[in-house]
Amino acid sequence: MQNNQKRFPPHATQGFTLPAILVVVGALLILAIASLLIIGIERNTARSFTDRQRADLAANAGLEDFRGILKKETANDDFFIIQGIERQPLNNEKESPPYLYIARGSGAENSLSYRYQPLFTAETKPDTSKVLQAPFPEDLIGEKTKSLVTLPWLNPTKPTWITIKDPKSKVVSRYAYWVEDLQGKIDGHIAGNTEGIAKYPAPPRAPVKDKLPALSTIAVGVLDSKATNKSLQTLGQESITQKIITARPAMLSPDSIIGATGILGSEKTTSTETALKRVEETGLLEDPIAAELERNVSPVLQPYKERPVVPYSAGLSKKVIGEPKLNLNKLLNASRSGAVQDFAKRIDDGLPNFEKNRKGGFPDNYLQTLAAGAMDYADKDSDPTISPGSYVGIDAYPFISETVLQINFAGASTIGGNKVQRWQFKLFVELWNMSNQPVNGTANFSYEVNLTPGAGGAGSSSSTLPFDSPSILNDKTKSTHNLQFVGGKYFTSPQGISLVPDQYKFYQVAAVTYTLPDASGGQEFDLIEPLGSSGMTMKWNDQPVNIIPKFVRDPYGVSNFKNSTP
């Protein structure tokens, strides 16, 4: 019997397991790859977190480094902040970045020396110098530098990398810093107010939600370069200044000052990209007002307390260096005479040879006059600080610029059988308002004319009285005038004076007609005056403010007079 049952070879049965094994292996491979990917992601995440932590630690280390420098170097206020630039700045249109230093002095008078603390990371410290001059940063930063882009209109700075090492001396991080002087910018939160008068010192800044103090006179021109005197007084709603004032609550970051002006939404700029486009060569914003504001205004200035002391400056005595400065505002509220004395004493203590080297022929107390002038410059009134014979301060009153004595010899005549000479003197004064404020008041002037006829003709007498003698001016038969005798001198009548800033104006202040005995005998004669025997005092609102102790007249016009009547 034939067996027709079909049989399969043994190897054909084993082939069914291969696909299953491949599927399992593939799944394991995918699982392994996924596990490796997850592990890699976690490692990268952990490394990124570690790097971020290291970066934060490096930044904090840099901040703490700088904080320590400030606490040490500014514990006393007898320091300077100075800035320098690179010895060979880049040859392009951008500005060279300023490098700031804290300068600390020691010694006094002509034996001063200075040490410098860079306000940027440096490899070495500057050498001590006898000259207050910023070092060159190239001499300090070494070769391990970081090209740091700071402000768009400045070339990159090059501070030194400072490394941070682990316990095994392995470098794990590094930092570098460069300090910008924000205090040199205008505070957008207080500048450009439209009403009120600025006060000094400025009152503390109020929160932006509250009404800010009125500081209308501060830096309006910086906020708007096209501002005129008229626009400063009546600012319209469309002015840049007014927009900044309105948008103060939105000023939260340095860049928000541009947004506060509304430049981004103005008709001249169609988009933010256009408004914030920069000139490649200079790094400045194309919009000129935006560029000006970005450079000069900041909304994030922080107040700081300062104890003003006398710095280490060449020539200053050790009596005052490092001591608190005099508070001028406090002096203004004290007794004026006492304040002048304190001010003058501080000058003398600090500069012992100042008065000796500078006074020259000044007739009054030189230092007290300087002190009185400083008081008058700072106070609110226009009345000068005066101590007769000691000092006169400079306030808003005019000064004598020039004097002219016009002499008219009218000849001789005979009255009652006596020969007489007729004269007419006119005194003119040119006044100058040297202040930047209008001046209005009354002024009168001393009439000092010590001229006498000289010995030039037969019969003339050397004992002839001068033209300002009381024996003549008090005798109505010999003179006619409206002079007043006060304090041993004749003064002109008070005259109203009104001058705008920097204005010169001539005034006729006196006219005197003389009828005097004639002893010339018809001969020529001169009018002579002892050298420097006459001067002039100007009273402003009845206070002697401008005193010329002596002057020499121009000889032209006071010679060769001749009696035309025999």
10-residue averages of pLDDT along the chain (566 residues): 56 63 78 79 77 82 88 85 88 89 88 92 91 91 87 91 87 88 79 48 46 49 53 49 72 74 54 67 82 80 78 88 88 92 94 91 91 90 88 92 90 81 93 91 94 52 73 92 93 95 94 86 74 89 89 70 54
| Confidence at residue 454, expressed as pLDDT on a 0 to 100 scale | 58
Q: Which of 156, 117, 123 is nearest to 142 (CA)?
A: 123
Q: Report the distance separating Cα 356 and Cα 564, nearest Å.
A: 55
Q: For 150-223, where are the E strands, in sequence order?
A: 162-165, 171-175, 186-187
Sheet (strand 399-415) strand order:
399-415, 418-432, 504-517, 479-480
Neighbouring C-alpha atoms within 13 Å toward the C-beta of 412: 20
Which residue shows structure tokens 């400056």?
Answer: 313
| Confidence at residue 121, expressed as pLDDT on a 0 to 100 scale | 92
Q: Which of 506, 485, 484 is nearest to 493 (CA)?
A: 484
Locate 221 and state its tokens: 């021109």
| Confidence at residue 112, expressed as pLDDT on a 0 to 100 scale | 87
| Confidence at residue 564, expressed as pLDDT on a 0 to 100 scale | 52
User: Phi/psi zone of residue 72: left (φ > 0), alpha (ψ -120 to 50 degrees), beta?
Assistant: alpha
How much is the pTM? 0.61
Q: How far is CA 251 from CA 44, 239, 262, 298, in A?
A: 39, 18, 12, 9
Contacts of 324 (CB under 8 A, 6+ apart): 307, 308, 309, 310
Q: How far is CA 471 from CA 59, 156, 464, 475, 555, in A?
A: 90, 84, 11, 6, 25
Locate 124 and state its tokens: 């070495």
Q: How far is CA 525 from CA 424, 460, 466, 514, 522, in A?
A: 17, 9, 15, 17, 9
Contacts of 87 (CB under 8 A, 6+ apart): 136, 138
Q: Report the distance separating Cα 82 and Cα 98, nearest Å.
A: 9
| Confidence at residue 197, expressed as pLDDT on a 0 to 100 scale | 37
Which residue shows structure tokens 């030039």?
Answer: 456
Which residue shows structure tokens 């608190």?
Answer: 324
